Amino acid sequence: MTARVGVITFPGSLDDGDAQRAVRLAGAEPVALWHGSHDLDGVDALVLPGGFSYGDYLRAGAIAAVAPIMTEVKDAASKGMPILGICNGFQMLVEAHLLPGGLIRNAHQQFIRRDQRLRVENASTAWTNGFDEGQEIVIPLKNGDGGFTCSAETLARIEGEGLVAFRYLGVNPNGSLDDIAGLTNERGNVVGLMPHPEHAVEPGFGPDTAEAMRSGVDGLTFFTSAVASLAASVA
């Protein structure tokens, strides 16, 4: 049975179509969902895509975090559904308290776009089980409010409990504490990160590699990992 992965569109979402394409390339069926709905349409997993929900006029993701559908997202998360938040979607997850900490303006106060090296710190989540712990990957990054911040107590808990999913390598592009690029919850079903894996899923359209220009597809593993996790849960 083909897994069905919902991709939620919020006002201002930019990359919902890209996320749907990534889901399709991973062998699942993408299901378009609307922020104003209370219906998850029976999906098996969820993606909160990147963009600029409500123009990011308040804290990034703050208004989207209280959208009607987020009631269902929180309930699904509590029941173990795999949920991925990308960039603005990551901001929504922390604003909704599904992940700890917060995201603030980049340290240099400028929007940044680059192909970013990451190290996989936790390879046991629903979205990272296809990687190896310590593996280095390259994922496109584009954000203006990507600096991860939290209290010293929260940071100690995050590090102590292994909740860091990804760290920036080579350069910290936004001033994030401890070079944190992405987090997971304790259960491992909710993952959020600032870089955009949906932009590295198809040869010819991803980051450059040593083999060829734009041939990087490290992002596809996020989506195939989730599909594999769903298959294993019903086997």
63-89 confidence digits (pLDDT tens): 999 999 999 999 999 999 999 999 999
Decide if 150 is catalytic: no
182-226 confidence digits (pLDDT tens): 999 999 999 999 999 999 999 999 998 988 999 999 999 999 999
157's tokens: 């808990």
Q: 106: helix, coil or strand?
A: coil
| Paired residues of 117 in beta bridges | 138
Q: 166: helix, coil or strand?
A: strand
Mean of per-residue pLDDT scores for the chain: 96
**Given this model, what pLDDT does residue 235 score?**
65
0.95 exceeded by the pTM? yes
For 102, the enclosing helix (H) or strand (E) is: strand 102-104
Decide if 202 is catalytic: no
Selected catalytic residue, list 35, 87, 121, 150: 87
- The 10 Å Cβ neighbour count of residue 183 is 27
- Residue among 110, 171, 175, 91 nearest 138 (CA): 171
Decide if 198 is catalytic: yes
How far apart are alpha carbons 43 and 59 in whole angstroms? 29
Residues 6+ apart with CB under 8 A from 50: 13, 14, 15, 19, 86, 87, 88, 89, 142, 196, 198
Selected catalytic residue, list 35, 95, 121, 196: 196
The residue to which tokens 């592009």 are assigned? 173
Selected catalytic residue, list 72, 95, 121, 198: 198
